[in-house]
Amino acid sequence: MSEEARPAIIELTDVVKEYRTDAGPFRALDGVSLRIDAGELVAIVGRSGSGKSTLLNIVTAIDRATSGSVVVAGTELGGLAERQTPRWRGTTVGVIFQFFQLLPTLTILENVILPMDFAGRGSARERRERALGLLESVGLADQAGKLPLSTSGGQQQRAAIARALANDPPLLVADEPTGNLDSATAEAVFSLFRELAASGKTVVMVTHDSELANRTERAIRMVDGRVVDDGRGGSATA
């Protein structure tokens, strides 16, 4: 497949991110340029502190770049007002966290409905049906009525993935989604990502698990805020 056939969903050009710290400015991203196309499954790897989370935060408009251009799903994020970011994110990116981060007082089903609620999407009944469908697709239909803390880690993470898909965003971003899961469960979550990518979603995941990274079509390696290797995952190293 030629690269031109697929439109870019993420385009970073010379992105720099500096944090202000007590010891002076700290450069967490140091001139990152990157292009990720729609439908790709990309792993980002690197040591702790190399800037992986910072990169994801900038892509999801959770944080802002100090300089450089960030275009995600056709939107130049630098031009997005702070007030507009939650709305934009709600419909454009699904975010998945290491610690699942489901709201403890809402059921699994209600957690999945929540983004639709905030986005003001559909009627109450449509939201519910869509959420049930998403839970079905991640194999959690039977857990819908439970509170998150009464389910297992793998189930919570799959619920979090269903939540990330709630508003049908083109892009899924996950920061160490399998970091807190045993390998069998991690495997299940990873296959879910693969299926999602196959169905046309773009999935970007940060992972420590080099075995998983090797099985993605593309792995980006970061060192000290720089991209040092951008290879075709399994094919690049195998």
Partner 1 sequence: MIGVRWRKVLRDLTHLRSRTILVVASIAIGVVAVGTTTGARSALDRSLADAYRLAQSSSFAVYTAEPFDPELVEPIRRIRGVEVAEGRRTVSVRIRTGETWRDLQLTAIPDWEDQHVDALLPHVGAWPPDRGELLLERSTGTLADLPVGSGARIELPDGREEEIRIAGLAWEPGASPAYYFGRLSGYVTFETLADLGFDERFQEVRVRAADAAAIGPVTIRALADAVRLRLERAGHPVTFILQPPAGSHPAQELLDAVFVILGGLGALSLVVSGFLVANTIGVVLTQQTRQIGVMKAVGAARGAVALLYLGLVAAYALLALAIAIPAAMLLGFLLSGFVASLVNLDAPGLTLEPAALLLMLGVGLLVPLAAGIVPVVRGTGVTVQAALRYTGVAETYGHGLLDRLVAALRGLPRPALLALRNTFRRKGRLLLTLAALAFGSAVAMTLFSVRDGLRREMTETFSYFAFNVRVDLARPVRSEAAIAAVERVPGVTAVEGWQYGSALRLRPDGSESGTLPIFGLPAEVRTVRPRVEQGRWLLPDEGRALVATTNLLRDEPDLRIGDQVRLKIRGRTADWTLVGLIRSPTMEPTLYMSDRSLGEMTGALGRTSMVAIQAQLPPGGTDADLAVAARAALEEAGIDVTGTSTLGDIAKTVGTLFDTLILIITAMAFLLGIVGALGLAGTMTMNVVERSREIGILRAVGAGDRAIIQVVLAEGLAIGFLAWAVGALLAIPLAMLLAGAIGEALLQRPLPASPSVLGFALWLGVVLFLATVGSLLPAWRASRLPVREILAYE
Ligand X SMILES: Nc1ncnc2c1ncn2[C@@H]1O[C@H](COP(=O)(O)OP(=O)(O)O)[C@@H](O)[C@H]1O
**Contacts (CB under 6 A) with ligand X, residues 16-55:** 19, 21, 26, 28, 46, 48-54
Choice between 53 and 60, CB closer to ligand X: 53
Show contacts of 33-36: CB within 8 Å, 24+ apart: 33/68, 33/227, 34/10, 34/220, 34/227, 34/230, 35/8, 35/10, 35/11, 36/8, 36/9, 36/10, 36/11, 36/202, 36/204
Q: Which residues are 164's β-sheet partners?
A: none
User: With contact defined as beta carbons under 8 Å apart, do 60 and 51 qualify?
Assistant: no
198 contact choice in partner 1, Mg ion, ligand X, none (CB below 5 to 8 Å, kind-dependent): none
Shortest separation between residue 61's beta carbon and partner 1, angstroms: 9
Q: How far apart are CB 146 and partner 1 at their closest, in Å? A: 14
From the list Mg ion, ligand X, partner 1, none, which binds 130 (C-beta under 5 to 8 Å, kind-based)? none
The residues that touch partner 1, with contacts defined as CB under 8 A, are 57, 60, 62-63, 83, 86-87, 89-91, 95, 97, 101-106, 110, 113-115, 117-119, 124, 127, 163-164, 166-167
* 183-187: Cβ within 8 A, 24+ apart: 185/152, 185/153, 185/154, 185/157, 186/212
Q: Which of 53, 60, 92, 156 binds Mg ion (CB under 5 A)?
A: 53
- For residues 162 and 134, the answer to whether their CB atoms sit within 8 Å is yes
Task: Report the residue number, 50 or 167, with the smaller CB distance to partner 1.
Answer: 167
Q: How far is the CB of 49 from Mg ion (least distance, A)?
A: 8
Q: Does 221 bind ligand X (CB under 6 A)?
A: no
Residues of this chain that bind ligand X (CB under 6 A): 19, 21, 26, 28, 46, 48-54
